[in-house]
Amino acid sequence: MITTAIASLAKDLRRKLGADGVLSAGSELIVYECDGYTIEKNRPDAVVFPRSTAEVAEVVKLCNRHDVPIVPRGAGTSLAGGCLPLGGGVVVMLTRLKRILQIDLRNRMAVVEAGVPNIQLSRALAGTGYHFAPDPSSQGASTIGGNAATNAGGPHTLKYGVTLNHVLGLEAVLGDGAILCLGPVNDPAGLDLLGPLVGSEGTLAILTKLWVRLTPNPQEYRTLRAIFNTVDDATNAISDIIAAGIIPAAMELMDQGIVAAAEEAYRFGFPLDAGAIAVIELDGLAAGLDEQQGRVDALLRKWHAREVLQAASAPERELLWKCRKMAVGAVGRLSPSYCIQDGVVPRTRLPQILRRIAEIGGKHRLRIVNVAHAGDGNVHPILLFDERDKEQVGRVLAAGHEILEECIRLGGSVTAEHGVGVEKIDFMERLFAPADLEAMRRLGRAINPSGRLNPGKLLPSADGPSSKAACGLAQKTDAAESAANGPLRS
Amino acid sequence: MAHYDHDSLPLTELVAPADQTGVAEAVRAAAEQGAPLYPIGGGTSLDYGVRPVEPGLGLLLGRLQRLVDYPARDLTITVEAGMTVAALSKRLAAEGQRLPVDVPQADRATIGGVVAAGLPGPRQYGRGTIRDYLIGLRAVDGLGTAFSAGGRVVKNAAGYDLCRLLGGSLGTLGVLVQVTLMVKPMPETSALLACSLPEWETAERLLSALIQTQTLPVAVELLAGPTWQDDPALGPLPDSCVGWLVVGVEGSLAEVEWMIGELREQWRQAGIDAPLAFRGNRADPLWERLCEFPSPAHDDGRGEFSIQASVLPGDTVGVISRLARADPACSILAHAGNGMIVARLALEPDRLAALLESELRPHVSPLGGTVVVLSQPPGASLAREAIWGPPRPAQALMQSIKDQFDPKDILNRGRFVFPSTCP
């Protein structure tokens, strides 16, 4: 019966998308069991590859008819389990929506389909004098639709803002298969739906097309690396720079552990004995950079930076950023498994949170290395472990929780840019009061009344897990299947 | 306390709660009776939206002006919604910081009102809007329940962005009682460079060229009509000219000087020989007029409508020339970098409605743009569609959000795009 239900769904999907647009054999589905968050896995009932917004809408309507969850997915780089097919259902791959439709310099915007990789837009813009500012470390793979769905950040959000600040308009498929178009012209006659849809992690709509803002390339960069003996000195210097009213384009921190990994992988020439390295990029008009650099330099020296070096050439700058952005990947050299956390504190609390992270690591006998978008107060502690050792996994989870609790205690949040997904869902009740969560649920009920879009993500349900909404065909009982096709949540 | 204009709203009574709990109680009481409630900040935008007809309670928020938290080194501030923008700016200035959002009548306008109205301003081109700075809020929904959204950190991906949702919602989803804002360091100096335009084609040529320079203007404004005919700062507009282009820059002294030099050179190549430059304090009066967009005095005492057309930046000049043709007596302030054109028109209501209906909206809609009425003179009472334009495709979705947050439709009933539910 269950197998028949899946077969019938797959048959309907194939009728709409063609044989090469649907995967439903068990072996083909393994890849889609999880995304960058590998702690939980579950196999979807089917994976589809629509080529257009209209096909996405057809898929959504079919999923409604078959009463299965719909899980949108871009490149699958989410570190929070945003693409985990919790309870099965249909994973909707957006990667075939991959056209850059328009680059419109006069209006400083580009129109792209959701599956365009972030890096591809940057490449297409080379030579125009403009770029797409959001630059998550995953940008080589992650899609612009995914960046928008998770409101992704990156090093340069410090000056340029997160993805939301760069989305002017969007086209999306709603939970009932209707197509919604917002922007790119800002319309005062109505609610700002762009805000809540961006960052909704696929729980309100499937983004299919985006109008994004283009940002003028800076006239000049000054990319500095400051070498510190201690993490404390580095975080104090970073806090002081912000407090002095200087907002660099980016201000990143790497501690000794991560520097060692990056150095082994990329041979940049970082000193291995440094307690921490701050990568600080100043950009803008050449006319203003000497003065800014002078002020930054003075604050770095005040906090005992033993060396401040400037990238001497464009290739050196690119290599430095590559090392920073690929540093997390290099951690694989240090440990068989690792878990990267995403927490944020008010920027002046940076020294405290990094001290506490070290203490928590000690307490749980875990090695933790750190990268941080330090200027934003956004920390990414990376917990090293061996996933074959269940006892270690338990300690990693406990330490991760303690770090996030500490972020909350210091006035911060449990995710700055990776999103809630399934990973942080239990923290929402610690971060927000019941009335706050209820306000978010109302938005969810208004936009995704059936609850079929990416169920079990972002928001804990008011009355425990909504098992039916989060239930794919393979998990369904006959009784549930024969239930009427009504809204799953009131 | 507030100098609000009674005539704009059909108020039966006024309450001025002393604190946030008082606001929640007032909303709860109104919700129980199902009676409309009109939140009032500084009362500077009470003419914005449809003139409500159903009598209701005026909820004054001016007593909520507490500074809740100002960790200046974090560049964030949390204040109650009734604090005036002037008071907020003063606090920030003491730390060398600011909220880079232009607000007219800042000594009256409250920060809650600024968020709720979400109106554009000149610096929007380079600095964004209030919604880009709003990182947290506390509001009271239509049933009297207080809720918070966002937080106090500058980067936060936890949950739905309700801050953006409430921004520009004209108080129809919740009464704002507290906001947390990201603030910025005060720039060292600013300057404005202005030139008169022999015809609108010149404006588009200069604007297109501006896109390709390495200058980073924060404001790009086009001005036309009586308000700017003999501006105290700009002086008389030469007879043969249609209007002004004004470009604003900010930064360190060295940056500002470099940009002014670069722009001068670019304009010289385009045949503009003697632009006016206003630097430092000398730029302040013009900045103020760009923010306030003062109304020219009408000898016959006629009131004015103020409207806003929103289009892609490249379509700005087309809309301006159409407006100037349709009503040569109108005054225009266009935030040209953002494609937002604000115009003041001293027309009879019927004539204005006809202009919107048969001239402007048919021109702007195919461009993906919209036209709304920002304010109407005393006595005028345009219909919902005349003010906001035809319902948008997302109207049903917006209505279902409204129904979730204000099921009894008490918050600013009838003023925004939501039709009054009462017969």
Q: Which residues contact A452 (CB under 8 A, 6 or more apart)?
A: A63, A64, A67, A68, A69, A70, A89, A175, A469, A488
For residue A371, the distance in angstroms to the closest alpha carbon of chain B comes to 16
A235, A303 Cβ separation under 8 angstroms:
no
Q: Where are the beta strands (DSSP E) in A274-401?
A: 276-284, 307-310, 337-340, 343-344, 367-373, 378-385
Same domain, B364 and B282: no
CATH number at residue B326: 3.30.70
Distance between CA atoms of residues A364 and B184, nearest Å: 40
| Domain that residue B215 falls in | 189-292
| B370, closest residue in chain A (CA to CA) | A187
Average pLDDT, chain B: 94
**A378 neighbourhood in chain B, CB within 8 Å:** 155
Distance between CA atoms of residues B310 and B319, nearest Å: 9
Q: Which residues contact A159 (CB under 8 A, 6 or more apart)?
A: A247, A248, A249, A250, A283
* Structural domain contains residue B19: no
**Boundary (domain end) residue, out of B264, B292, B320:** B292
Same domain, B219 and B151: no
Residue A276 backbone dihedrals phi, psi, to 5 degrees: -160, 150
Residue A390, beta-bridge partner list: none
Distance between CA atoms of residues B339 and A184, nearest Å: 11
Same domain, B71 and B180: yes
**B372 neighbourhood in chain A, CB within 8 Å:** 188-189
* Structural domain contains residue B405: no
Hey, are the CB atoms on A416 and B157 less than 8 Å from each other? yes
Same domain, B102 and B200: no
- Please report how the helices A231-243 and A286-302 are oriented relative to each other, as an axis angle in degrees rounded to 10: 140
* Structural domain contains residue B45: no
CA dihedral A98, A99, A104, A110 (to 10 degrees): -10
Q: Where are the beta strands (DSSP E) in B205-253?
A: 219-224, 230-231, 235-236, 243-251
What average pLDDT does this structure show over B142-167? 96
SS3 A101: strand
* Whole-number pLDDT of residue A264: 87
Tell me whether A245 touches chain B (CB under 8 Å).
yes
Q: Where are the beta strands (DSSP E) in B216-304?
A: 219-224, 230-231, 235-236, 243-251, 276-279
pLDDT in tens, B201-244: 999 999 999 999 999 999 999 999 999 999 999 999 999 999 99
Facing B312 at nearest CB: one of A107, A287, A446:
A107
Name the pLDDT band for A333 (thresholds 50, 70, 90). confident
For residue B111, the distance in angstroms to the closest alpha carbon of chain A comes to 18
CATH number at residue B127: 3.30.465.10
* Whole-number pLDDT of residue A465: 45
Name the pLDDT band for A329 (thresholds 50, 70, 90). confident
pLDDT in tens, A421-467: 999 999 999 999 999 999 999 999 999 999 999 999 999 987 654 43
Same domain, B284 and B311: no
Hey, are the CB atoms on A347 and B118 less than 8 Å from each other? no
Looking at this predicted complex, what is its ipTM?
0.96
CATH number at residue B261: 3.30.70.3450
Hey, are the CB atoms on A216 and B259 less than 8 Å from each other? no
* Structural domain contains residue B23: no
- pLDDT tops 90 at residue B269: yes
| Kind plus residue range of the DSSP H or E element containing B197 | strand B189-197
Distance between CA atoms of residues A250 and A283, nearest Å: 9
Name the pLDDT band for A485 (thresholds 50, 70, 90). very low
Same domain, B201 and B274: yes
Q: Which residue has the higher pLDDT, A469 or A170?
A: A170
- pLDDT tops 90 at residue A323: no
Number of domains in chain B: 3
Distance between CA atoms of residues A225 and A268, nearest Å: 12
**Boundary (domain end) residue, out of B185, B216, B234:** B185
What domains, with CATH codes, occur in chain A? 100-216 (3.30.465.10), 218-334 (3.30.70.2190), 336-421 (3.30.70.2740)
Same domain, B180 and B73: yes
For residue B52, the distance in angstroms to the closest alpha carbon of chain A comes to 16
For residue B400, the distance in angstroms to the closest alpha carbon of chain A comes to 5
Tell me whether A443 touches chain B (CB under 8 Å).
yes
pLDDT in tens, B183-201: 999 999 999 999 999 999 9
Facing A418 at nearest CB: one of B157, B211, B257:
B157
**Boundary (domain end) residue, out of B292, B319, B347:** B292
Same domain, B217 and B171: no
For residue B139, the distance in angstroms to the closest alpha carbon of chain A comes to 10
Same domain, B269 and B373: no
* Structural domain contains residue B422: no
* Structural domain contains residue B4: no
Task: Write the Ramachandran bin of B5: left for phi over 0, alpha for psi from -120 to 50, otherwise beta.
Answer: beta
Tell me whether A247 touches chain B (CB under 8 Å).
yes
* Structural domain contains residue B352: yes
Distance between CA atoms of residues A260 and A290, nearest Å: 31
* Structural domain contains residue B48: no
* Whole-number pLDDT of residue B300: 62
Average pLDDT, chain A: 92
Same domain, B117 and B172: yes
